[in-house]
């Protein structure tokens, strides 16, 4: 799958469409749209990997009480500024 598969789960908790966000991979330092990441949902949670190096850039997991979003593999998460 591509990063568009994250639109629903992330939109629920963040209140916005994060597929338009840019992520900078900590491994290769390339910036890409979240929608361009390779997404896997067979691990515990959902994993987004950089298409350039296959590094994990984001991991999202739900527990009974929380939603955990791990961005350790990303240097920067950049969102477009809201329009007035």
pLDDT per position as a tens digit, 34-80: 889 999 988 788 999 999 999 999 998 988 998 898 999 999 989 88
Give the per-residue pLDDT at 1. Answer: 75
Does residue 84 fall inside a structural domain? no
Query: What's the structural domain count of the chain?
Result: 1
Does residue 36 fall inside a structural domain? yes
Does residue 83 fall inside a structural domain? no
Does residue 34 fall inside a structural domain? yes
Query: Model pTM?
Result: 0.79
Does residue 65 fall inside a structural domain? yes
Structural domain span for residue 11: 3-77
* E strand intervals along the chain: 22-25, 31-33, 38-40, 46-49, 56-62, 67-70, 74-78
Does residue 82 fall inside a structural domain? no
pLDDT of 31 above 70: yes
**Cα diameter, the chain:** 39
Helices (H), the chain: 7-14
pLDDT of 12 above 80: no
């Amino acid at each position: 799958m591509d990063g568009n598969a994250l639109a629903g789960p992330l939109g629920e908790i963040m209140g916005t469409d994060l597929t338009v966000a840019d992520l900078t991979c900590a491994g290769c330092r390339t910036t890409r749209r979240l929608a361009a990441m390779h997404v896997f949902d067979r691990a515990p949670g959902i994993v987004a990997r950089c298409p350039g190096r296959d590094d994990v850039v984001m991991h999202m997991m739900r527990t009974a009480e929380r939603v955990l979003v791990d961005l350790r593999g990303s240097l920067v998460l950049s969102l477009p500024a809201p329009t007035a």
